[in-house]
Amino acid sequence: MRRAPAVLAACALSLALTGVAGAEGPALAGSVGPGFQISLRDASGNAITRLDPGPAVLTVDDLSDEHDFHLQGPGVDVTTDVAGTGTTTFQLTLVDGRYTFVCDVHPLRMTGSFVVGAPPAAAAPPRLVLTVTPKAITLVSAAGKAVRALAPGPYVIVVRDRARTQSARLAGAGVNRATGVPFVGTVTWKVTFAAGSFSYRSDARKPKLRGGQVFVFA
């Protein structure tokens, strides 16, 4: 009966060494204890909230004999001992989904999670159309509705200047852009409106076009 634990220990050691030798993927640093601390950080020391799918190497520093570090998620279920302490390395293969790490003794107090997968795509900024003709200047949404109020943030303005005698200007709410009066053509402006208001108008005086005002508020 005396040899069995030694053999098991040797097997565990060789597995651990194999894991380190074949280490692949970003390094994840798990830590539990002292006290009720549990964390998972990247190589820069930042808390991990999202990772790409693929291999990763988890190294857990278990600093307490009252807690464990247990990571679970799609295809992964690894843990340290509650009573044990020390450093353990696990080779992981992460796939899309949510992974949770927890101390099994204090699952409500000591827990965290991260997501594996592509970050959510940033929404494209709304598109507005500013049109100036010899007789009118209008600002409409992509759906063709007159714009009177907007939320602050980035927008793409498609400017259609159809008048050799007029310009198209947006001024206010942190933006001041214009086409030249003689200019005719279509341009695209990327703008970011701050809270406040802006006007759209032409710089030409004859004839004086009636522009409009748009309020920007959250």
Chain residues binding Cu ion by CB under 5 A are 67, 103, 105-106, 110
Rg over alpha carbons for the chain, rounded to the nearest Å, is 30
Q: Say which DSSP state 43 is in.
A: T
Residue 102 β-bridge partners: 70, 111
Residue 3's SS3 state is helix
- Distance of alpha carbon 155 from alpha carbon 196, whole angstroms: 15
> Cβ 69 to Cu ion, closest distance in Å?
9
Nearer to Cu ion, 41 or 106 (CB): 106
Joined together, the tokens standing for residue 92 give 């992981």
User: Residue 156: CB partners within 8 Å, gap ≥ 6?
Assistant: 124, 125, 126, 127, 128, 188, 189, 190, 191
> Cβ 58 to Cu ion, closest distance in Å?
18
Nearer to Cu ion, 68 or 161 (CB): 68
> Cβ 62 to Cu ion, closest distance in Å?
10
> Cβ 107 to Cu ion, closest distance in Å?
8
Nearer to Cu ion, 60 or 103 (CB): 103
Nearer to Cu ion, 24 or 65 (CB): 65
> Cβ 72 to Cu ion, closest distance in Å?
15
- Distance of alpha carbon 24 from alpha carbon 14, whole angstroms: 17
- Distance of alpha carbon 157 from alpha carbon 151, whole angstroms: 15
Nearer to Cu ion, 103 or 159 (CB): 103
